[in-house]
Amino acid sequence: MIPLTISPMKEEDISQVLKIENLSFLDPWTQRMYLAEIKERDDSYFVVSKLGTHIIGYGGFWLVVDEAHLVNIAIHPDFRRQGIGTQIMRYLLNLAKELGAKRATLEVRESNLIAQNFYAKFGFIPCALRKKYYPDTQENAIIMWLNEL
């Protein structure tokens, strides 16, 4: 595995995060959305993964009572399949547990089998379907749960 540092996302990280965001998602988040996550929300926890000074991945969750709702995780395409996503996911799940979360949930595109298999490695299981969840394509989302952190 690549030696990385993982730390809380800061405002100055957002420009690098947005580059990865735009390479990773059909309906990417905006600068304003990330600013709100890190500056305005008390229930939002976002981290970046750096190789030196370069951000190569990030992820985040919302803590809702005792549940972690994972909302974003992405790795720069040049660094995928090298264990970085695994390091970020472990970090996020450990942080959520330290903050009092007892379980975790997420939504994933029905067509994104790579992500579904990635989440399954951590014990997430598909539990329900949200019809036409993604506004860009009207694609369904699979709701996955990890019932014990």
**Could you state, in chain order, the average pLDDT of each consecutive group of 10 residues for the chain (149 residues)?**
86 98 93 96 97 95 97 96 95 98 97 95 96 90 96
Tell me how many degrees the CA angle 62-138-71 measures, rounded to the nearest 5. 10
* CATH value at residue 83: 3.40.630.30
Q: Classify strands 125-130 and 141-146 as parallel, antiparallel or unpaired.
A: antiparallel
Percent of the chain with pLDDT over 90: 91
What pLDDT sits at residue 3?
72
Catalytic, out of 119, 133, 134, 139: 119
Catalytic, out of 34, 37, 107, 133: 107
What pLDDT sits at residue 111?
94
How many domains is the chain partitioned into structurally? 1
What pLDDT sits at residue 4?
86
DSSP three-state, residue 7: strand
Span between the terminal Cα atoms of the chain, in Å: 23
Domain carrying residue 65: 5-146
Question: pLDDT tens digit string along 75-111?
Answer: 999 999 999 999 999 999 999 999 999 999 999 999 9
Note if 107 is an active site residue.
yes
Helix (H) or strand (E) holding 36: helix 31-39
